[in-house]
Structure 1
């Protein structure tokens, strides 16, 4: 039987008339009447669910009845890849709407170091304004200055200044990396409320949500009830001096804001603000298409604090499904024609204590000997080379990733320190690989399917000579780079080169499009060129590292709309 529902793209490409489709009649075999190109969407809605691995998505997709259920009726790519090695929030968000990998867009990690920088603090936060003397990594003046390429919203504004580019998240770095340098409105959670860029005032939409969250914290809220299918995950697991696996997100009266932040209610507040901004700025209702980026952070906060396989994440996934559905319903009510993409900045892995109980006996926490301070002390012991008093010999943000030698160490001494750093890490049983900056610089930029890239190629996709470390360290699979966990605060994480951190879902939906599922690997850098084609945005050749994905499930090709 002929399908009676086809995508907007397929309708135009196949030349089928609306009456013929409605009656299920075959199209004429010759000289079909020309069909007008389908209207462009009024709004591009880019959703990022922080720490939504493809594994977590696959685990829960059978239970989705809300927003995810709608997305599953569209174009489903279950094997999207954040193809680079540094699978963290800032690099991951930087790929989604720039179409550029960290090696080109400059966002190599959440934090990196410049041992030669003039300020006392050598760490650099990915979304801070280094030109502002008031900015520090711990309390940044938020800016997109460090992002080296434009986002889709910026390209849309350049083509038509009437476009509004809006971003909201619980995290400033998600707002900056999805919105870019020219954001009409950008809000993130800081401390106990949503805030915005230095020099800007909070608008009524943000003030209303802040008032609502303050009232909620003052009043409190009961625990969230887990769905029946969460039962097998409702089990206490001891981690450090506490337990995880049974928390239900009760909000005590007068609770501290962090109790709200590390809960599904954080996503709810973020979506409340997104809906308020739709109304305040009339998004999707102007003369040019708009872009609204919404990054939902609760998955990440919960995954870090409580792990990914307890009742906490099960409750979160059910609430997330409802929250996304509520956002879609709000746009539907306003009769906005929107094209949505949902993906993630990275995946995640559970706490090793629970992994060991679930057929992963090799799961472990990183050895303290791999921490930068310990490595520096051992190198000094072996070589006699030391940094100036009060300064570290080796800078780094943890027991893996980019590591930097103190700028005061030069010449043969520097060479010897780097050699010893490589020897110490490569010979450690928890380390899969260690690469020098020279080795990565000499490595060609990888091509082909990202699931087939070598560890070195994955590291190359995150490498930028002017920002990356002297040595890049890769831990073995299932080695968690948190040597000392704190239950309820930091027990599990991401950031590795392994596919549990790299592989994420990519879902596209627009009313009327024909759904399909494509299991072959794609990349998050493919999202920007795909959206650009869907809205008819002409972009220079070479602007993206990714490719356009054909969202037409039929003989047409949605990637040809700008040609």
Structure 2
């Protein structure tokens, strides 16, 4: 082919290609092919209380195909997911997941905190302006009124003109109330004591629905007052420490922290129902109630997307008593895996496989038992509160002539009496700094920050970034303490949480279902990213205080 023929052929090919492109464009209508939103019939948000990320990897080989493995293998796994604030505790955790922001904005700075206006300690969900529904006790005097912003559940309700339904469920009241948001159709939690009932608040309803009363009288709760034995042969639990050790707590009546746990109060079917919370059957009871809610509330049956927010609280109670390296915590997660499989089977049947979207995360993680770490020659230890208080009181008396200059200590923060400081002709900034310098001399303290620093600086990484995200200008204290890694204020058995250290911030984040890609990432994601990711999936407004950003890799 000569040069002229080559040019002719090239020109002909270009013309044909252009014609095809024009014809293709003529056939595509404006907006066609553009996906604005995904419309699952139901979104299910799952929070596992006190779940570390490494539970997924440690126990993976023991999991069934239908629970955690189904979410990991068929969904999207954010392997480097973290809380970007402290304190890492249940109230702030649940709120941050659902609001897409941190305590600096949503205002839930702890489970409890000192309220500077009322001069008293308050609980994150308490509200005496409402009455209990389902019990004569005060267990139902609750509402989300201390949460300053909207949740993803609120925004879905608003987007659907309140047609989309939100139901929130947890053993812990705050584990249901805060995720449910301000507009939930219902939030239910478990009241133990000698009643053993699922209850609610008059904030949501005047009386319990018939299906809840039927569940409460069905004998299901009583059936879980039984011996706690291992799901599998305990000798196969090689991923955990020995069953009999000095790092675990005891049930009343026990002499060793070993399986089976079958004390008389665990077996008594007429009282002590709070004990169910501290064994894995509390999660199974939560799942039983959740499955009843799916069916009786008709979730996911119409074109308006509904939202089911469920939190599994027993994992936290078990972790606190036995620690993260215990046979008990392993057995609890293997049983939770089976309960998750039950949930997904129910959703497949009632809503339809491929018609719902799920995310699973935690409200915080946890530290290994410091006594155990210390025995393994890892730096760790405990804060001696009595010695610390005595030393600090002497400092206050010597420096200011009174201990009353400090009004409260909670959530690793000191609250100062600003009136006394003013009456002593002192500058608040200088008092904060003087107290901070004093605490830097205490062996268990790693670093200290002042309220003034939180106000004046914009931290973007590290511990100060985490503290600032947890610092609410109206509600937080004047001096913020950070203890050394591996050190806690807690009894010498069991695990706890609350710090800005990585063992408390690294938590799982799994997405699964409609609109979710299959895959994983090791790029850092943060808890406030969850709500805007779900909002982007649904094509609805972000919660009003959102500071997180959508995780683009997750969405199809």
Task: Tell me the TM-score normalized by structure 1.
Answer: 0.81
Deviations 1:273-304, CA, capped at 9 Å, x for gaps: 11111111101112310110001011111111
Partner of 2:197: 193
Partner of 1:547: 549
Q: Over aligned residue pairs, what C-alpha RMSD do you find?
A: 2.9
Distance 1:551 1:85 in 2: 26
SS of the residue 1:334 aligns to? helix
8 A Cα contact 1:89 1:110, kept in partner: yes
Q: How does 1:39-78 map to 2 (within 5 A)?
A: 40-65=39-64, 66-72=66-72, 73-78=74-79
Partner of 1:438: 452
Call closer, same or farther: CA 1:413–1:235 in 2, change over 3 Å: farther
Distance 1:206 1:413 in 2: 59
Call closer, same or farther: CA 1:61–1:375 in 2, change over 3 Å: farther
How far apart are residue 382 of structure 1 and its match? 4.2
8 A Cα contact 2:131 2:141, kept in partner: no
Distance 2:394 2:181 in 1: 40
Partner of 2:283: 267
Partner of 1:252: 267
Q: How does 1:156-195 map to 2 (within 5 A)?
A: 156-160=156-160, 161-191=162-192, 192-195=196-199
Distance 1:376 1:217 in 2: 48
How far apart are residue 60 of structure 1 and its match? 2.0
8 A Cα contact 1:370 1:425, kept in partner: no
1:428 aligns to 2:442 (yes or no): yes
Partner of 1:395: 408
How far apart are residue 139 of structure 1 and its match? 6.5
How far apart are residue 213 of structure 1 and its match? 4.2
8 A Cα contact 1:375 1:421, kept in partner: no
**Higher Rg:** 2
Aligned residue among 462, 474, 480 for 1:472: 480
How far apart are residue 417 of structure 1 and its match? 5.3
8 A Cα contact 1:165 1:179, kept in partner: yes
| Residues 151-160 or 530-539, more deviating | 530-539
Partner of 2:5: none
Partner of 1:17: none
Distance 1:180 1:87 in 2: 20
8 A Cα contact 1:167 1:183, kept in partner: yes
Q: How does 1:344-355 map to 2 (within 5 A)?
A: 344-355=362-373
Partner of 1:385: 402
1:525 aligns to 2:528 (yes or no): yes
Deviations 1:393-448, CA, capped at 9 Å, x for gaps: 44123xx61221246523146647544432332211111111111111112163xx
SS of the residue 2:310 aligns to? strand
1:276 aligns to 2:276 (yes or no): no
Bigger proportion of residues as helix: 2
Partner of 2:504: 501
Distance 1:44 1:369 in 2: 48
Distance 1:222 1:113 in 2: 38
How far apart are residue 210 of structure 1 and its match? 2.8
8 A Cα contact 2:130 2:142, kept in partner: no
Q: How does 1:361-380 map to 2 (within 5 A)?
A: 362-369=379-386, 375-376=392-393, 378-380=395-397
How far apart are residue 459 of structure 1 and its match? 0.4
Deviations 1:225-261, CA, capped at 9 Å, x for gaps: 3455314523322149968763444442336223211
| Residues 492-501 or 326-335, more deviating | 326-335
Aligned residue among 230, 236, 239 for 1:229: 236
Unpaired stretches in structure 2, ≥5 consecutive residues: 1-23, 133-137
1:404 aligns to 2:408 (yes or no): no
SS of the residue 1:325 aligns to? helix
How far apart are residue 356 of structure 1 and its match? 2.2
Distance 2:56 2:257 in 1: 19
SS of the residue 1:463 aligns to? coil
Distance 1:370 1:462 in 2: 28
Distance 2:222 2:214 in 1: 11
Partner of 1:455: 463
| Residues 458-467 or 531-540, more deviating | 531-540
SS of the residue 1:497 aligns to? coil
Call closer, same or farther: CA 1:351–1:81 in 2, change over 3 Å: same
8 A Cα contact 1:373 1:394, kept in partner: no
Call closer, same or farther: CA 1:117–1:147 in 2, change over 3 Å: same
8 A Cα contact 1:372 1:395, kept in partner: no
Partner of 2:13: none
Distance 1:55 1:222 in 2: 24
8 A Cα contact 1:166 1:184, kept in partner: yes
SS of the residue 1:97 aligns to? helix
How far apart are residue 53 of structure 1 and its match? 1.3
Partner of 2:18: none
Partner of 2:317: 301
Partner of 2:11: none
Q: How does 1:9-20 map to 2 (within 5 A)?
A: none
How far apart are residue 500 of structure 1 and its match? 0.7
Call closer, same or farther: CA 1:62–1:470 in 2, change over 3 Å: same
Call closer, same or farther: CA 1:265–1:329 in 2, change over 3 Å: same
Partner of 1:125: 123
Distance 1:277 1:92 in 2: 24
8 A Cα contact 1:83 1:502, kept in partner: yes
Distance 2:542 2:85 in 1: 24
Distance 2:450 2:131 in 1: 32
How far apart are residue 503 of structure 1 and its match? 1.0
Distance 1:438 1:130 in 2: 34
8 A Cα contact 1:368 1:374, kept in partner: no
How far apart are residue 126 of structure 1 and its match? 1.3
8 A Cα contact 1:425 1:434, kept in partner: yes
SS of the residue 2:471 aligns to? coil
| Residues 125-134 or 308-317, more deviating | 125-134
Call closer, same or farther: CA 1:376–1:465 in 2, change over 3 Å: farther
Distance 1:363 1:177 in 2: 34
Unpaired stretches in structure 1, ≥5 consecutive residues: 1-29, 447-452, 559-563
